[in-house]
Structure 1
Amino acid sequence: MTATVPLHLDLPSLRAAYADGTLTPTAVVEAIFDAIARRGDDGVWVSLAPRAAALARARALEALPALARASLPLWGVPFSVKDCTDVAGVPTSSACPGFAYVPTENNPAVERLLAAGAIFIGKTNMDQFATGLVGVRSPHGVARNPFDARFIPGGSSSGAAVSVAAGLVSLALATDTGGSGRVPAALNNVVGLKPTRGLVSGVGNIAACRSIETLSVFALTVPDAQAAFEVIRGFDAHDPFARQATLAPRRLGDTFRFGVPRAAQLEFFGNGDAAALFDAAVRRLETLGGTRVEVDYGPFLEINDLLFQGPWLAERYGALQSFVDAQPEAILPVTRDILLGGARISGAQVFAAQRRLNLLKREIERLWLDIDVFAVPTTGTAYTIAELVADPITLNFRLGTYTNFVNLADLAAVAVPAGFLPNGVPQGISLITPAFADHDAAALAERFHRHQNLPLAARAVAAADRVAPSHRQEELTT
């Protein structure tokens, strides 16, 4: 059996096709590898599973009795893994070939996905050592943004997001420190679920900032992302930052209060169209039963500054110090300069920043007395590769305006599509809740996404490629 690409790899479509015999896992794997081959050097992959191994995995799943298949929540679901996370027998390099090693064990989240019946397709490209939100800091090239190749895909989990947006996998395992699992979601019209830190094991992962980082999920819809999250989460006693806690029950009802930054504090960096999209998103939340509450964004902005000027920059350097000091020439210059900046952070600065962060977190905690969820743009704008190359540090920092604070402030978030700019590039919003209130963020994100009836991922682009160029923009924005 062969399948026509692009496949509809959202979980309901895939399960329905499996159930009625339209598709089999073997056919899906064949179609995916054919599509990857046709795309050529698209910058998405660092390494692929051998096609024969993926097909063997698919055939083994097909050979299972029906009862066993039904017990596997992700039976036959293809997934990718960011190159900083271990897959046994596959090199982990964090996009730095000189750093590469071959692990003998899977990261626990990878192990859980496999145990749930998923099929590993490959390791995805990223900003080297997860240092960036842009997706262009890699020796493997730039993962091609499926909406417009002139634009950045976002990072650091660039290849992971594009692998989902381009219809090559159903789910992607990524990581998120300051927005790496959310910025690429916005720029690729997919969902990025960033759990409360400590709920997913970080063992077998080359962390950027281990104390605040979390593995995250890209998917086509919020329910798909939640399905993956339910599989990968679980306490790991071998992870020093794991947290043994129960998620709070969903409490958002038909009416809710959502915070937004004060109008004077919203920044779209000259992109009026992005501002209009966010305004429309706010009005859509009101339509869904929300009451808007303006809040002071000052504490969040100050936390943003701490991420790149405080002890967490030192943590990045400390995690890689032996390699950075021994082989500085093996690291991209922009990445090396950022990492070396951490060597200049003193112990006094570390403790001062931690004290200040705790005070800022208390200010944020008081906000939850007035709001149930916090809504922000995921990105304030979208940049071309050329713009980014011309000013890499400033534009990277701008991309984290609405994402950097989340892990430092110990919050959960879901980045969800919010529409398209006139040039066809997508944008999104992030819905943020306190730690362990992940279900509230996801529930509202799902309602918001479903209410818009947007095309999933890059399906609109695939359709536009089959019509005359003059109709391309209309197709992208419907």
Structure 2
Amino acid sequence: MEFTSIQALLDAYKRGVTTPEAYLRQQWTQAKADVNHCWISNISEAQLDGYIKALKNSNPELKPLYGVPFAIKDNIDLLGLPTTAACKEFAYSPGSSAFVVQALIEAGAVPLGKTNLDQFATGLNGTRSPYGACQNSIDPTYISGGSSAGSAVSVALKQVLFSLGTDTAGSGRVPAAFNRLVGMKASIGRISCRGLVPACRTLDCITVFAHSVDDIEHVLPVAGQYDPSDCYARDFSESDSEVTYSFDKPRIGVPRDTQLEFFGNDNYRRRFTESKAQCEALGAELVDVDFSPFLDAAKLLYHGPWVAERYAGIKAFFDEHEADCDPAIQAIIGGARGLTAVDAFNAQYQLQALKKRCDAILNSVDAILIPTAGSIYTIEEMQADPIQLNTNLGFYTNFMNLLDYAAIAVPADDESENMPFGITLFSDKGTEPKLLEMAKAYTGKSRIEVGERIPESMVMAVCGAHMAGLPLNHQLISRQASFLEKRRSAARYQFFALAGEGPKRPGMVRTKEGGNRIELELWEMPTARFGDFLAGIPSPLGLGKVELDDGTWVTGFICEEAGAAGGRDISHFGSWRGFLASKSDS
């Protein structure tokens, strides 16, 4: 008997169509017969009997995952089976299950075993394992995606109904894309990482694979229970309860066409274009965004000192057993030995500067849509060029945890004649409810709705007396606003020195044709201080949306066209500072 959703299985139990014992024994037998190299170890029949007995002695109504089989990536602890991280010499027997595993078991879920992965969770392809290259569920000559290879394929082959993976560079998303699954990479700290062999401890996320967004929604509240003993855990329960949904047209950012990369895969390029069209057909407004700062951040993960964090996680073992590791792992982790604390701090400064830019772009839209991966490769191709092709797989994923964002990967289409292609929606940390709703709408081909959340801070563009060092800048400073960067508007504005008493100030008026680029400063202000700031803005000025020269929109000062009457057109100066300098020169 086959089930592809958690709710369908629970309903079958309730109706007596099957029993937990019959179904779990069937799935355990199927998992043990796997030929795709999904599993490193399975529970014994005696262990399975123990789980079945525990279910018989419990109340199904109190266990939301009653009798649901799942798989665990073998860098996450399960009491009773060794944890190997796909390295036989590293294997140890844990004294307890990982926090998230124990939470799932207490909710009635039954682990069938530990799944294959790229060794030490270092890779995105699924071939870097002494337990065999994990084969794709659709075509075994293709890679499964990694490092959470077996976790994804075991779900895709319906051996289990959901699984736990991990994600540091994309390992919870790329395998989902290559096996027609949903992969939820929640915010850092939402799912406890206590009991996980770290890759990059500050960035690691435990992830969930399933066949549908509904199943992710079934599992995530259980898996995402707050763990006060995990120093990197974060409690999002309060912010989740504040989310409401509206029917306003959501704005979804997409990278400019020139910033997309498909590595020669025209099939994937076409399907991403069709994915964008589907979003528009479902009610979203697509907005081109500058993707370059996200790509620059991505380069830091493997070409910066975060590789040293991978080394730190297994240093004692690696220094003694480097020769026992996969050659690609030796090259990547071994290369971290020459990195210094100075390198780490310099990269942190670079990342923080990039995050300011990326956050400003992300705050201008409700979410950003990207391909999950730009191409897919055969196992033979991957093994012939393991470093470069793996780098290609991380093009759209490596930045996500560095920038502290949440993401969900979903199948893009139903093209069964082709290898799977997937898309990812991402937004800021703590926005999982919004992303789940949008992903559900996309996969269900229903109207896309957007979760409305009041952000902690807002980015504002100023063009006149509120700029740094000018007379009204104190109004920003006193409200804990911080300077982000200098920018220019799109070439769609006229700029006026307004008439009237009080501090001299300009007004930007949007034009239907022509116009000029005006120098701006972007400032970030706590949302709680926006109300009293807005109340003090005199007519004819106000706050609205200002278009930047990269096509994104931010909140900023705008002026009514009638309010500019009597003012002096100073557009040719291009900036308020330029105009003031001309007055002082005269």
- Stretches of structure 2 lacking an aligned partner (at least 5 in a row): 447-586
Residue 415 in structure 1 maps to residue 409 in structure 2:
yes
Name the structure, 1 or 2, with higher relative contact order (CA <8 Å, separation 6+): 1
Residue 376 in structure 1 maps to residue 370 in structure 2:
yes
In 2, distance between residues paired with 1:449 and 1:286? 14
Which residue is 1:209 aligned to? 200
How far the C-alpha of 1:189 sits from its partner, in A, is 0.5
Residue 321 in structure 1 maps to residue 280 in structure 2:
no
Residue 261 in structure 1 maps to residue 255 in structure 2:
yes
Residue 58 in structure 1 maps to residue 52 in structure 2:
yes
Matches within 5 A, 1:435-450: 435-450=429-444
In 2, distance between residues paired with 1:37 and 1:199? 32
Which residue is 1:294 aligned to? 288
Going from structure 1 to structure 2, the CA distance change for 1:405 and 1:412 (only over 3 Å counts) comes to: same
Which letter maps to 2:443?
A: H
Q: Does the aligned pair in 2 maintain the 1:375–1:432 contact within 8 Å?
A: yes
Which residue is 1:396 aligned to? 390
How far the C-alpha of 1:34 sits from its partner, in A, is 2.7
Q: Does the aligned pair in 2 maintain the 1:57–1:119 contact within 8 Å?
A: yes
Q: Which of 429, 453, 467 is equivalent to 2:423?
A: 429
Q: Which of 71, 90, 100 is equivalent to 1:99?
A: 90
How far the C-alpha of 1:226 sits from its partner, in A, is 2.0
Q: Does the aligned pair in 1 maintain the 2:64–2:108 contact within 8 Å?
A: yes
In 2, distance between residues paired with 1:35 and 1:422? 24
Which letter maps to 1:134?
A: N
In 1, distance between residues paired with 2:363 and 2:65? 38
Q: Which aligned runs of 4 or more in structure 1 are off by greater than 4 angstroms?
A: 420-423
Residue 250 in structure 1 maps to residue 243 in structure 2:
yes
How far the C-alpha of 1:420 sits from its partner, in A, is 5.5
Q: Does the aligned pair in 1 maintain the 2:24–2:67 contact within 8 Å?
A: no
In 1, distance between residues paired with 2:299 and 2:417? 31
How far the C-alpha of 1:172 sits from its partner, in A, is 0.3
In 1, distance between residues paired with 2:245 and 2:353? 27
In 2, distance between residues paired with 1:251 and 1:341? 47
Which residue is 2:269 aligned to? 275
- 1:327 is paired with a residue whose SS is helix
Which residue is 2:449 aligned to? none
Which residue is 1:358 aligned to? 352
Which residue is 2:43 aligned to? 49
Which residue is 2:214 aligned to? 223
- 1:313 is paired with a residue whose SS is helix
In 2, distance between residues paired with 1:202 and 1:33? 26
Q: Does the aligned pair in 2 maintain the 1:30–1:55 contact within 8 Å?
A: no
How far the C-alpha of 1:36 sits from its partner, in A, is 2.6
- 2:401 is paired with a residue whose SS is helix
Which residue is 1:162 aligned to? 153
- Stretches of structure 1 lacking an aligned partner (at least 5 in a row): 453-478
Q: Which of 28, 32, 49 is equivalent to 2:27?
A: 32
Residue 72 in structure 1 maps to residue 63 in structure 2:
yes
Which letter maps to 1:43?
A: H
Aligned length: 443
Which residue is 1:23 aligned to? 18
TM-score of the two chains, using structure 1 as the length reference: 0.90
Q: Which of 303, 308, 313 is equivalent to 1:309?
A: 303
Provide, for residues 345-368 of structure 1, a one-character-per-residue CA deviation record: whole Å limited to 9, x for no partner: 111110010011111111111113
Q: Which of 225, 228, 231 is equivalent to 1:234?
A: 225
Residue 330 in structure 1 maps to residue 321 in structure 2:
no
Which residue is 2:5 aligned to? 10
Going from structure 1 to structure 2, the CA distance change for 1:13 and 1:21 (only over 3 Å counts) comes to: same
In 1, distance between residues paired with 2:67 and 2:404? 34
TM-score of the two chains, using structure 2 as the length reference: 0.74
Q: Which of 169, 172, 191 is equivalent to 2:182?
A: 191
In 2, distance between residues paired with 1:289 and 1:252? 15
Greater strand percent: which structure?
Answer: 2
Provide, for residues 286-345 of structure 1, a one-character-per-residue CA deviation record: whole Å limited to 9, x for no partner: 122100001011011111100001121010011111111111122111111110111111
- 2:317 is paired with a residue whose SS is helix
Going from structure 1 to structure 2, the CA distance change for 1:82 and 1:402 (only over 3 Å counts) comes to: same
How far the C-alpha of 1:422 sits from its partner, in A, is 7.3
How far the C-alpha of 1:235 sits from its partner, in A, is 2.7
How far the C-alpha of 1:421 sits from its partner, in A, is 5.8
Which letter maps to 2:282?
A: L
In 2, distance between residues paired with 1:384 and 1:422? 18
Going from structure 1 to structure 2, the CA distance change for 1:422 and 1:443 (only over 3 Å counts) comes to: closer
Going from structure 1 to structure 2, the CA distance change for 1:259 and 1:83 (only over 3 Å counts) comes to: same
- 1:120 is paired with a residue whose SS is strand
Residue 135 in structure 1 maps to residue 131 in structure 2:
no
Q: Does the aligned pair in 2 maintain the 1:286–1:292 contact within 8 Å?
A: yes
Which letter maps to 1:386?
A: E
The share of aligned pairs that are identical, in percent, is 39
- 2:246 is paired with a residue whose SS is coil
Q: Does the aligned pair in 2 maintain the 1:178–1:404 contact within 8 Å?
A: yes
In 1, distance between residues paired with 2:290 and 2:99? 39
How far the C-alpha of 1:264 sits from its partner, in A, is 0.7
Q: Does the aligned pair in 2 maintain the 1:193–1:413 contact within 8 Å?
A: yes
Q: Does the aligned pair in 2 maintain the 1:135–1:156 contact within 8 Å?
A: yes
Which letter maps to 2:210?
A: A
How far the C-alpha of 1:252 sits from its partner, in A, is 5.1
In 1, distance between residues paired with 2:394 and 2:400? 10
- 2:136 is paired with a residue whose SS is coil
Greater helix percent: which structure?
Answer: 1
